[in-house]
Chain A
Amino acid sequence: MFARLQMAWSLGFHIIFAAVGIGMPLLMAISEYRWLRGGREECRELTKRWAKGTAIFFAVGAVSGTVLSFELGLLWPGFMRHAGAVIGVPFSLEGFAFFTEAIFLGIYLYGWDRVRPWAHWWAGVAVAASGAASAVFVVMANAWMNAPAGFDFDASTGEFSEIDPVAAMFNPAWKAEVLHMLLAAYLATALAAAGIHALQLLRRPRSAFHREALRITMGVAAVCALLQPLSGDYAAKVVAETQPVKLAAMEGQFASEASAPLRIGGWPDERRARTRFALEVPGLLSFLAHGDRHAVVRGLNEFPREDWPPVAVVHVAFQLMVGLGILILSVSAWFVLAAWRSRGAPLGRRLLWAIVLCSPAGMLAIEAGWTVTEVGRQPWIVYGVMRTSEAVTPMPGLAGPFLTFVLVYVGLAAVVVALLARQVRAAPVAAGAE
């Protein structure tokens, strides 16, 4: 149990830093391009400011990622012993992608005066590309745990045979998961950064520096917010195909049903086997999951009770993620409309406040979505093949390591926030763009 908590905690921590490590390089590359091509001086300063924040996040992301690669073995030796050979290849590729990212980030952060401006920009592009690539590889490995492929499994001995790591990488879930996660990383990062700049704009409405920053971040956020529901719909269809029990838990669908309704909100009651207090839209779930209003959606009743994930957690996390997504989409749309209509005049305070309040929504949605994938996969560590309880380490006293990491990571998070706050407060002075 503590092993699961520790893994969830470590991943939940790392995913924020990883998302920033993927998202910020894209924002910096856009911003630096606007400086190099468009001659916008404020973009040069903006890029440098962002680079400092990124450096902090990247380092913490790198060390917390190292912790994870060890924890796979520290906590789940049973999983690694049998699955390492199947699923190690994307991890190796991720190692290389991360290597490339670290090299070019070093050049990017410390090389402002040492390489030519365009070479510097290309280093930034290399960081963004390799960051995205490492996300692709890691999520491929996770997708395999949800939709395992590329091996034969002998249930009596617990051995994997006929291993095909390539088929394992390109498992049925990889496209959907990778797409959804990448968009989420860009969206959440851009939105979080937008919130910081919107807050500054509330104080200094005319700062060209912060207005330019808001244009870039909200631009990226709006594009991703528009695409994300499409990728989410695709991901849900894949889940319906590969993990019907997870879909049933996400939707609080206890009994198999034709023309299944989409439940909005509500609380799944596992004992009574029904979801209460939900707003139901008739036939919509069947349509979303299978593209046909009358299709049968398989309910939890088709699966043995010991194979159910914790239904309430999965359902609520899923509702939270979708709700936050809709909120983000509305605020992005508001921004795009307002920016288009105002033509350069300062933005309204109500919109700025909306962006500020909405800024953690992306990260929250990532955590909620991650909960859906991971808790929704329980009780399996490899869906349908190996149970989480079979994989855990025999070491006693796992509460100790768990509490240690809770304390360490809470401390790290506090320091990162404090450092960022200081950077932000210093920004307008240095920018001189009042």
Chain B
Amino acid sequence: MQVELLTAWAMIAALAAYTLLGGADFGAGVWDLLASGPRRAAQRELLAAAIGPIWEANHVWLILLIVLLFTCFPPAFAAVMTALHVPVLLLLLGIVARGASFVFRTYTSGTGAGQARWGLVFSIASVVTPLLLGVVLGAASSGQLRWHGDAYLGGFFAPWLRPFPWAVGVFTLAIFAFLAATYLCAEAEDPALREDFRRRALAAGAAVALAGGLAWWAADADATVLGAHLNAAWWGWPLRIATGLAAAGALAALWKRRFLAARTCACAQVMLVVLGYGAALFPHLVPPDFTVFNSAAPPITHFLVLGALAGGAVVLGPSLYFLLRVFKGQRAFALLDSAATRTPQSRGTKPTHAQSSS
């Protein structure tokens, strides 16, 4: 097995981790925008408490992904960043707006206008950014970025103002919102709040199914490399069926209020989607001109990076476990609902939100 394949797998894993962790933080912002009903303020407070301690750590998965791409597959990185300069720039503005407004809201003392204003920036950026992230991913894999050696042949708008990138954008947004709502069902301690997020999770699950269908259609019609590969491969149908089963499992568990099982199924569903995306793309990174093989850096770079990944995992694994254990409690790692976990136990201290209210 060539070493660049290992690195490519690591990138798939990083993308999955970013979706599961960082994606859910964006999803929380979506629900912040859509907060409604009598418990609107409580919903927002739960959202802020849920992502406050962890969003910066979760955000690093994206940086890791970018660094892996530009270290190990430099020409592919250069290609994406040149051709998709405009949407990437918009994506960056979204990332800056989301992160900055979240801390600004947290540390704006007092209540009222200031906090509401930053909250609005935060929630709008949380909707726009995933959309753009999906657009960039979709455009990069659509097969529309044509290169001849070091020279870019296409335009700076045409490749991403097409159906497929936007279908992926909508799908990404739906998935992030679905993940966030499902996690929050498992985390909320107030039964009424849990019901709020259960309804939202079910609605978002339906949106994921619709957007998934849309992206599927667009892949066939618009991103021919991807679509054709998915249709031709022997694993194409088994993968789609498995993803569908996980999705159905998540919705059924939500319906029956088995929230931890729902979370497990939703995570499995998302991992299968990311895996399918990577597998359908393979061996391309940026079709049609850049593959995992022709854009790979020399093996020594891959070996060093993989070594750093292994070493980093030794430090990061326990640290990340500690972080989630401290803020999400024991239930953070429970996969299924058992007698002990079905009714959320009080964790001694309420989520410390003192910082933001001081």
Min C-beta distance of A295 to chain B, whole Å: 39
Min C-beta distance of A383 to chain B, whole Å: 19
| Number of A-B contacts defined by CB within 8 Å | 214
Q: Are A395 and B109 in contact (CB under 8 A)?
A: no
- A interface footprint on B30-65 (CB within 8 Å = 1, 0 otherwise): 000000000000000000000011101101101110
Docked complex: A307-322 residues within 8 A CB-CB of B: none
Q: Are A419 and B78 in contact (CB under 8 A)?
A: no
Q: Are A73 and B78 in contact (CB under 8 A)?
A: yes
Chain B contacts for A12, CB-based, 8 A: none
Q: Are B304 and A165 in contact (CB under 8 A)?
A: yes
A404 with B93: in contact, given A96-B316, A99-B60 (CB under 8 Å)?
Answer: yes
Chain A contacts for B322, CB-based, 8 A: 103, 107
A107 to B152 CA separation, bound complex (whole angstroms): 45
- B interface footprint on A67-99 (CB within 8 Å = 1, 0 otherwise): 101101110011011111110110111111011
Q: How large is the interface on A (under 10, 10 to 19, 20 to 34, 35 or more residues)?
A: 35 or more
CB closest residue in chain B, given A55:
B103
Q: Are A74 and B56 in contact (CB under 8 A)?
A: no
Chain B contacts for A66, CB-based, 8 A: 59, 62-63, 92, 95-96
Chain B contacts for A114, CB-based, 8 A: 326-327, 349, 352
Q: Are B352 and A62 in contact (CB under 8 A)?
A: no
B89 within 8 A of A: yes
Min C-beta distance of B92 to chain A, whole Å: 5
Chain B contacts for A106, CB-based, 8 A: 52-54, 56-57, 323, 327
Q: Are B304 and A166 in contact (CB under 8 A)?
A: yes
B231 within 8 A of A: no
Docked complex: A113-148 residues within 8 A CB-CB of B: 113-115, 126
CB closest residue in chain A, given B84:
A74
Docked complex: B189-238 residues within 8 A CB-CB of A: none
Q: Are B67 and A69 in contact (CB under 8 A)?
A: yes
CB closest residue in chain B, given A81:
B78
A280 to B78 CA separation, bound complex (whole angstroms): 48
A81 with B109: in contact, given A62-B59, A66-B63, A89-B71 (CB under 8 Å)?
Answer: no
Q: How large is the interface on B (under 10, 10 to 19, 20 to 34, 35 or more residues)?
A: 35 or more
Q: Interface segment, B173-181, B254-262, B271-279, B294-302?
A: B294-302
Q: Are A95 and B82 in contact (CB under 8 A)?
A: no
A394 within 8 A of B: yes
Residue from A73, A83, A412 in contact with B100 in the complex, judged by beta carbons closer than 8 Å: A412
Q: Are A95 and B67 in contact (CB under 8 A)?
A: yes
Min C-beta distance of B328 to chain A, whole Å: 11
Chain A contacts for B106, CB-based, 8 A: 55
Seed contacts A65-B63, A73-B70, A82-B74; 16 additional CB < 8 Å A-B pairs: A52-B107, A64-B96, A66-B96, A67-B92, A73-B82, A84-B74, A91-B67, A95-B64, A100-B315, A100-B319, A103-B57, A106-B57, A110-B355, A393-B85, A415-B104, A419-B104
* Subset of 17 A-B contacts with CB under 8 Å: A52-B355, A56-B104, A60-B99, A74-B89, A77-B81, A84-B297, A88-B74, A89-B71, A102-B59, A102-B60, A109-B53, A114-B327, A166-B304, A393-B82, A401-B89, A404-B93, A408-B96
